[in-house]
Chains A and B, each alone.
Chain A
């Protein structure tokens, strides 16, 4: 490759090139260290956001929240889940630098934490993952006295079964996993998961890259528990899924709406928030809660053990629970919001958006559907069995 090239080139030119690159690199990295706060951040959100987005709040932080002395804050969350404006507002108000790393699944979060990726201050695990992490001693207990805005959460979501007393977690968003359909391309009505096995969907589905949700779907279709540990039932689910595989065009937990919107697929099993975003862009995309019962999940803010900036972590959690901050989440990532005060604020400030939120099944599932929903619960030892099934399903072409 290059030696022929470079042997003809005198060393001086090479030297200057390398020197240039080194200097360039060092200068840029020095620049980075200079600014304590991200003043290079994009201009305040008003320009881009709809009118309901408020300016960074002028009210003082809640009286009981501890003083934040940290200069940095590390957030580890799902991709496409925390609005940039929210992070910028937080960073400006508390004068610290915000880092936002992402993961695509609860398992990946756990894997990274177990592998020693420490240094994160706030993570956003789902319900069953909170239980697992608490059992593994991976979470710091949260002092609710430091989080006065916890009062804004709807009573329904306080004291959940997976974390009694909210010892380790505070609700972030909740939602469902169900069917999204492009009604322009799919004429017949779809009412249950089982419909997706129809040959008309051949190579036309997107599904989440999430073993608990998808194997769980097959189990539910077969009438078993979504959290079955029975090898026979899992085997049956595997066979059922292998029948679905020819219909699956791709697995995507990060941004399944893209495949729907770009016409790669005509239907899929995706998160409600993704479906809502797709629907906003293309109203023909509908969200169907299946007869067998959709998947139900709740995501929570939690603090990993050994978080280097615990004060910032608690401040962040409290910050996110402010109504005017919470509606930023709903604006950007329309999942279901457990923050009662936020929804009330939304109804006041932007009735149109509020109606859209209330009216669409993705953001506001009807109570009948919620009764049939299936939560995910940790399967303990059977996890290896589930993993094996998943590998086999994905490998089966």
Chain B
């Protein structure tokens, strides 16, 4: 997924209050075409996205019938249930994994993006193409590829054994990332989301004006300093975009923990899915979804407030 995050270029929208009112009739001929153009999309989204989400909010305050049906009442029971230690643990685990995934993809992806941005024009398109191919491949396939590698008697284990590395420290290290461990889940997550981080980073870095770096060098800055004070800040929009593109889906991810973690790691995504597809406690599942959504939004908002929404990004 990619997005272009942009601030509306129309700064006159400080008349925000006015714009919020949906019920005002178009006051000029110029406004009607806008509404007409936007209405199919808006209608679709309102009916099939906003209303379902509102339904989830309603269900989150409901109760579960004896056989898993929804009994519509108003009660905070499910939210209160979520305060239970085990659920808080699940939330924390999800936050932690999403955070780790974001940080790791950033650390691993940044040099890669930098490299591509710095390459010659001919190479650039080749490298971009190479990064895109996995991105376009179905993500389940990519997970499966890692399952093959990480099985306890899989490819990596086989190679390590052949090289005599499967003992002591080697064995311990492998044990950390072996299939059905949290380490394996993390590897899977990073692999999934790496292209989402690399591409926005690349876009941002590619726009970097080399003369700025030259100026810094002329002023006596060592390469590292120049990087920290010039390149890094200027690539911030890319970092922000990439982080959001990784963090948000990572928070709700349940497929990777299921496949790579042996269904042992319970994250919020797993919890929500289980409540809807197995335990049939829709109110609890809805409440958990609400919490997930709010949490994700909060973190995203805090992040963008701190580091800026960035200029418009052509991703």
Contacts and interface: CB of A to CB of B under 8 A. Distances in A.
A–B contact, 8 Å CB criterion (strictly below)? yes
Interface of A: 1-5, 105, 107-108, 110-112, 114-115, 132, 135-136, 209, 248-252, 262-264, 380-381, 383-384, 387, 390-392, 394-395, 397
B90 A264 contact: no
A171 to B, nearest CB: 24
Nearest to A245: B264
B152 A4 contact: no
A250 B276 contact: no
Contact of A4 (B262, B278, B281, B314): B314
A136 B280 CA distance: 14
B277 A112 contact: yes
A26 to B, nearest CB: 21
Contacts of A249: 180, 262
Interface residues of B, number: 40
Nearest to B267: A395
Contacts of A395: 86, 89-90, 93, 266
A9 to B, nearest CB: 11
B21 interface: no
B68 A1 contact: no
Given A3-B4, A111-B277, A252 B262 contact: yes
B231 to A, nearest CB: 19
B110 to A, nearest CB: 16
Interface SS of B by simple majority: loop
A387 B271 CA distance: 11
A248 B93 CA distance: 20
Contacts of A5: 125, 128
30 contacts: A1-B132, A1-B199, A1-B203, A4-B206, A4-B314, A5-B125, A105-B278, A108-B277, A108-B278, A110-B68, A111-B277, A111-B278, A111-B279, A114-B68, A132-B67, A209-B263, A250-B263, A262-B151, A262-B153, A263-B152, A264-B151, A264-B152, A264-B153, A264-B179, A383-B279, A387-B281, A391-B266, A392-B86, A394-B263, A395-B89
**Which 7 A/B pairs are nearest by Cβ-Cβ distance?**
A250-B262, A387-B279, A251-B263, A1-B199, A395-B266, A1-B2, A263-B153
A381 B263 contact: no
Contacts of A387: 279, 281
Interface in B66-108: 66-69, 86, 89-90, 93
Contact of B264 (A107, A108, A248): A248
A263 B281 CA distance: 36
Contacts of A1: 2, 132, 135, 199-200, 203, 315
A251 B264 CA distance: 7
A3 B315 contact: yes
A397 B279 contact: no
A105 B278 CA distance: 8
B207 to A, nearest CB: 10
A314 to B, nearest CB: 26
Contacts of A380: 66
B266 A394 contact: yes
